Amino acid sequence: MNYQPKSLADGRWFELSFFEQMANIGGEVERAILWRNKKTEYSLKAIERALELLDLTIKDFKNRKKLKELLRLREALIDYFYSDNKFKSSDELWRKYFYPFAYAVRIKK
């Protein structure tokens, strides 16, 4: 798979904490939500980047105990953005899911 940006796939991503990884994924999900009704192409690119980052997070050995949750997250994101939303997700649900990760990263600095 060709990751964008390539520097993340080459190892930089694995140096980030789990919370930093999830906050970055959440940022891409937020972009996908914001662009969905304005410019679909941008929305699809953002969710594609979110899934790429999530795939890297899944591959990160330090996250192995969170694998089940990460795989379920991937399934739910695909369901929400590409399928029929059988899990009944919403924009608000995704914001509430990812916000604590961004908050934790901010207060850590």
Structure tokens of 39?
Answer: 């410019």
Residue range 43-90, pLDDT digits in tens: 899 999 999 999 999 999 999 999 999 999 999 999 999 999 999 999
Residue 53's CB: how many other CB atoms inside 10 A?
Answer: 24
Is residue 4 very low, low, confident or very high in pLDDT (cuts 50, 70, 90)?
low
- Nearest alpha-carbon partner for 31 in 21, 45, 19: 45
Q: What is the pTM of this model?
A: 0.89
Which DSSP string do the residues of 40-63 spell out, in sequence order? Answer: HHHHHHHHHHHHHHHHHHHH-GGG
